[in-house]
Structure formats: structure tokens, C-alpha cells
Amino acid sequence: MPVLVASDLDRTLIYSAAALALTVPDERAPRLLCVEVYDGKPLSYLTETAARLLAELGDTAVFVPTTTRTREQYRRITLPGPPPAYAICANGGHLLVDGVADADWHARVTARLADECAPLAEVSEHLRSAADPVWVRKHRIAEDLFAYLVVERELLPLDWVKELAVWAENRGWTVSLQGRKIYAVPKPLTKSAAVREVARRTGADLTLAAGDSLLDADLLLAADRGWRPGHGELADTGWTAPTISALPERGVWAGERILREFLRAARPAG
């Protein structure tokens, strides 16, 4: 039976220059591989060691990139190893099969959102009216499924985020602060539901997962085993669970460690 490995990407396996967390002397810094370029500029990296490990993982298990990125944002990434047969985008709103969105899956997701939570238009309007232009840089709607703000983090009042989370909770939405982005995502829009669908289609009897943010918590809990890095929203709040390993490594080093853990768990004993 195949092993399914579902991993968040940003700040879990791949890292922006600002998120690398390289705290060693220059001569000991790892060699990096750029895996994302946008408008002619390199955006995201992993170490060459992590690239090798990821290529091995693609030959060992069913590797499923599982991201809150939109499909367009995900397609900017070129990961080492064989192209994944499945990928999950928009926090579970789109299931890609050989790079093509599964229309039936998306229809099922949107029907559930319509039944179970406040509409996107209401939440988006609240974000626009409640956020202060002093610290908001961009307001975005992603795939007509959820909304997010790009902010100046050093100017952002954390009490505002807490108040937004309470407001959203009462309407069936979740708020997550990740780097310079504040996400507002419907609670029924989950990575875990999409991963369960991939497990059903592939016949996987073991699911492994990794992630760093609140939006990854349901994914980690749905897996048989999960890992979170020593940075990010989950680490900052001390979040854990019986099947979750909280790793001490931060930044790009955590990406390497997570891939080693995936390979160790996915390979048959002996």
C-alpha cells in the first residue's frame, strides 16, 4: 500500500530569503536551490540537501504539495523530483490531478461553503473596512474562496488580529497570521478534506504531514504522523498533539529535517 506524504510548502519545505533563518557563519551556510521565480526575481529556496531528499521522497511515496497558495501561485514553483500526480491548492479548494483542477471536487467544496459559513463578500468587506491603511499594503481575494491582507508586520496591532479572529469565529471562518499575510479562511475549507480524498483515490494506508501555521493544524491532526518546525504560528503558540513531533529546527534547516523524517517514516522497515 502506498504512503501518502502531504506537506505545506511555504515556511515548511520552501523559504523566502527573509525566512531562511540562516544563523551560521557565511562559510558554513548551506548551498541553496531557487525553486520559484516571479517577475524575473528569485523568491523561494530550499537547500541542495533538501532538494536531494525531496527527489528521493518522490520516488518513495505519493508526495502531495498541500498549500494555501492559489493555483497560479503554486505553478510558479518547480520542485525537484518527479512532478506530483496530485497537488492541493487554495487550502483544499482545488485538487490538481496531473496539473489539472478536478472540477467535481471544487464543486463539492463550494457547495459546502455556501451551506456552512458566512459568504466571502461579507468577510472581505469587513477586512476592507476594519483594517487601517497605515499598515495594510494589499487586499486580495484568492480563487473566490478566501481573503487575505498583506501588511507591514511591525506596524500591525496584534490586538486587531485577535479581534478579527473572534469576529470571524462567529461567522464560521478562521484567521491565520503568517509572516506578512493575514488570512481569513472558511472553516469548511480544509487541507485535510482534500488529503483524505487523495488517500481514498490512491489507496494509501499511511499518511504523513507537515506544516507550520494554524491552517495546517487540521492537516496534521488528520495524518497518522505529523511534524511542525520550530518556527511559525503553531510553534509560537506551543500547539501540539499526541501524533505530532515538534522539531527544534527553524527556517531552511527545518525543511531538511522534515524531509528526513518523511523518508524515515515512509521507507519499509529493514
Cell readout for 158 is: 496584534
Final residue belonging to a domain, choices 158, 186, 214: 186
| Mean local confidence (pLDDT), 104-113 | 97
Q: Tens digits of per-residue pLDDT, 138-169?
A: 999 999 999 999 999 999 998 999 999 999 99
pLDDT of residue 57: 96
Which residue in 105, 83, 80, 81 sits closest to 94, CA to CA? Answer: 105
SS3 (DSSP) at 35: strand
Q: In sequence order, what are the residues at sequence separation of 6 or more whose Cβ sits closer than 8 angstroms to the Cβ of residue 50?
A: 13, 33, 252, 255, 256, 259
Check which CATH number belongs to the domain holding 36 and give it.
3.40.50.1000
Which residue in 179, 183, 237, 257 sits closest to 13, CA to CA? Answer: 257
Start-to-end CA distance of the chain, whole Å, equals 17
Final residue belonging to a domain, choices 167, 186, 205: 186
pLDDT of residue 50: 97
pLDDT of residue 269: 54
Check which CATH number belongs to the domain holding 122 and give it.
3.90.1070
Q: Does the pLDDT of residue 35 top 50, yes or no?
A: yes
pLDDT of residue 61: 96
DSSP character for 27?
G
Annotate 87-102 with b (16+ C-beta within 10 A) or e (fewer): bbbbbbbbbbeeeebb
pLDDT exceeding 70 applies to what percent of the chain? Answer: 99
Domain identity same for 83 and 141: no
Q: Which amino acid is at 3?
A: V
Average pLDDT, the chain: 95
Cell readout for 251 is: 527556517
Q: Which amino acid is at 38?
A: Y
Report the distance separating Cα 76 and Cα 140, nearest Å: 18
Domain identity same for 24 and 96: yes
Domain identity same for 57 and 99: yes
Split at pLDDT 50, 70, 90, the class of 26 is confident
